[in-house]
């Protein structure tokens, strides 16, 4: 390949990479990235994996256990032959082999209740994951809207800067023509410097808002990060549902409510498990054993013969079966203390469940009230901006023809700028409150 062709390909690849890096992020992409990388969400997933392990273990506890054992010993001096139970004085080696099994026949339903409890814990853990995802979603929504808000503030600031720059040019011509005093030009230039500062401040705020959003997404900070600016619908001034209706819907769909309820049920199972310790425990057991000793012989003492290993192993097989019952009479108060602690834990989880509902209710009530206030503020600010804009345009015409001083004109201009910023703030405040209230009702946040 020619060097020029190779260089051309490299430049094309770098150009494509640069375009890919500057492609605006959509809200969905920001949210998906945050959900994938967020530490709290992944920690919740790992906690739930532990609960699944506990569930599988509690299920396995219903299965009989099985174990095998083997031992090899070298005996020196006088000892008892394990195969004949007779004393021998010679040195020999012996082998013992065995298989044993035990089964818990009854333990106060502790196994069954443990399975139910662990199954409830797994289900609660799944809803805890959803709660962690919801927290991330709200944070990303806040960060995304903050970037959009500052975008509009920056755009408005640049528009005002451009308008002031045009006024500086116009005022210079009027001063040169002797139609305006030089003090008007100085005031307009001062306003231009103020507008320049407003643009710089808005740009700095935009950079900070982007950094915050990128940190929420758990991605490295980059200078070419941009988000997609969606088309925002005009805010509606109507709330079609009551506060109580929204709260009832949120109770049915919010994962923290379901998780708290499942944890209460789990605590009830925990109490039953503790009470099961009062019942007698019944166990079944079975053993299969055999052994070998090199000192054992076949035949008579006058004419002994060797006793092969495998033959001894087969001939010495023995089995045993057992059933045992354990009746708790006094356990140094351990059983009663376990029951008392389980009762306290149940009361605590019930209080936590009610507290979770109260927190949700207060959040819905606060957001509902804030939304109504935001609607009123948006409508009032929109009317104010319309009125101030009319006054500003009229003042701009008067200043252009030289019948209004620069001081009076700048007062109207600043009023217009403040009203613009106020409307943008009221707009995004309304959008945020509206999105949050919809989210409480189980609606996905979209832009």
Q: Show the beta-strand stretches assigned E in 152-235.
A: none
Q: What long-range pairs does 236-244 form, CB within 8 A, spacing at least 24?
A: 236/375, 237/375, 237/378, 237/379, 239/368, 239/371, 239/372, 239/375, 243/364, 243/365, 243/368
Question: What tens digit of pLDDT does each residue of 180-215 get?
Answer: 788 888 888 998 999 999 999 999 999 999 999 999
Q: Are the CB atoms for 201 and 421 separated by under 8 Å? A: no
Position 340 pLDDT exceeds 50? yes
- pLDDT mean over 43-62: 94
- pLDDT mean over 281-289: 92
Q: Which residues pair with 289 in a beta bridge?
A: 98, 318
Q: Are the CB atoms for 289 and 96 separated by under 8 Å? A: yes
What pLDDT was estimated at residue 426? 92
Q: Please state, in angstroms and rounded to a whole number, the distance separating the CA atoms of residues 216 and 131.
A: 16
Q: Are the CB atoms for 24 and 226 separated by under 8 Å? A: yes
Q: To 10 degrees, what angle do helices 334-400 and 406-440 make?
A: 150
Matching residue, tokens 């609660």: 124
Residue ranges, comma separated, of all CATH 1.20.1600.10 domains in the chain are 24-33+133-279+333-440
Highest mean pLDDT among 251-260, 289-298, 316-325: 251-260
Under the banding of pLDDT at 50, 70 and 90, the label for residue 238 is low
Q: Are the CB atoms for 6 and 190 separated by under 8 Å? A: no
Enter the tokens of residue 180.
């305006």
- pLDDT mean over 260-280: 94
Which range among 197-206, 356-365, 387-396, 398-407 shows the weakest confidence by mean pLDDT?
398-407
Position 72 pLDDT exceeds 50? yes
What pLDDT was estimated at residue 34? 96
Q: Which homologous superfamily is 24-33+133-279+333-440 in? A: Outer membrane efflux proteins (OEP) (1.20.1600.10)
Chain-centre distance for alpha carbon 45: 8
Q: Please state, in angstroms and rounded to a whole number, the distance separating the CA atoms of residues 262 and 402.
A: 75
Under the banding of pLDDT at 50, 70 and 90, the label for residue 167 is confident
Matching residue, tokens 């919801």: 134
Enter the tokens of residue 178.
């002797």
Percent of the chain with pLDDT over 90: 57
Q: Are the CB atoms for 216 and 224 separated by under 8 Å? A: no
Can you give the C-alpha Rg of the chain in angstroms?
Answer: 41
What pLDDT was estimated at residue 302? 61
What pLDDT was estimated at residue 20? 45
Position 397 pLDDT exceeds 60? yes
The strand order across the sheet containing 92-106 reads: 65-75, 92-106, 281-293, 318-326
Position 427 pLDDT exceeds 70? yes
Q: What is the DSSP letter of 89?
A: -
Question: What tens digit of pLDDT does each residue of 311-328 get?
Answer: 888 888 889 999 999 999
Mean pLDDT of all residues in the chain? 87
State phi, psi for 68 to the nearest 5 degrees.
Answer: -125, 150
- pLDDT mean over 135-153: 95
What pLDDT was estimated at residue 19? 44
- pLDDT mean over 101-105: 90
């Amino acid at each position: 390949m020619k060097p020029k062709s190779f260089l051309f390909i490299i430049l094309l690849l770098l150009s494509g990479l640069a375009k890919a890096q500057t492609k605006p992020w959509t809200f969905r992409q920001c949210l998906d990235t945050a959900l994938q990388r967020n530490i709290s969400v992944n920690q919740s997933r790992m906690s739930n994996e532990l609960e699944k392990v506990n569930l599988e273990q509690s299920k396995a506890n219903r299965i009989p256990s099985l174990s095998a054992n083997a031992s090899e010993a070298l005996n020196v001096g006088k000892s008892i032959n394990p195969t004949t139970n007779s004393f021998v004085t010679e040195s020999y080696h012996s082998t013992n082999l065995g298989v044993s099994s035990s089964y818990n026949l009854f333990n106060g339903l502790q196994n069954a209740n443990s399975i139910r409890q662990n199954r409830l814990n797994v289900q609660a853990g799944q809803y805890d994951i959803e709660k962690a995802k919801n927290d991330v979603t709200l944070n990303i929504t806040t960060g995304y809207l903050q970037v959009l808000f500052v975008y509009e503030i920056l755009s408005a600031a640049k528009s005002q800067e451009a308008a002031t720059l045009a006024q500086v040019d116009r005022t210079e011509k009027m001063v040169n023509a002797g139609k305006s005093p030089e003090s008007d030009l100085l005031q307009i230039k001062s306003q231009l410097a103020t507008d320049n500062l407003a643009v710089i401040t808005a740009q700095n705020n935009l950079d900070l808002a982007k950094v915050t959003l990128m940190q929420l997404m758990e991605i490295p900070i980059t200078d070419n990060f941009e988000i997609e600016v969606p088309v925002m619908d005009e805010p509606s001034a109507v709330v079609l549902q009551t506060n109580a209706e929204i709260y009832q819907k949120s109770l049915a769909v919010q994962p923290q409510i379901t998780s708290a309820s499942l944890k209460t049920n789990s605590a009830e199972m925990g109490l039953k498990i503790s009470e099961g310790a009062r019942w007698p425990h019944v166990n079944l057991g079975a053993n299969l054993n055999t052994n070998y000793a090199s000192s054992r012989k076949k035949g008579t003492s006058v004419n002994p013969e060797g006793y092969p290993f495998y033959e001894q192993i087969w001939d010495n097989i023995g089995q045993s079966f057992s059933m045992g019952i354990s009746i708790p009479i006094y356990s140094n108060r351990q059983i009663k203390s376990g029951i008392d602690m389980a009762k306290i834990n149940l009361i605590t989880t019930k209080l936590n469940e009610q507290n979770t509902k109260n927190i949700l209710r207060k959040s819905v009530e606060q957001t509902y009230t804030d939304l109504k206030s935001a609607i009123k503020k948006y409508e009032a600010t929109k009317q104010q901006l319309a009125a101030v804009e009319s006054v500003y345009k009229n003042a701009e015409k008067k200043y252009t023809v030289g019948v209004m001083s620069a001081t009076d004109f700048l007062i109207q201009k600043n009023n217009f700028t403040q009203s613009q910023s106020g409307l943008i703030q009221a707009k995004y405040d309304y959008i945020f409150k509206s999105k949050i209230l919809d989210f409480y009702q189980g609606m996905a946040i979209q832009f």
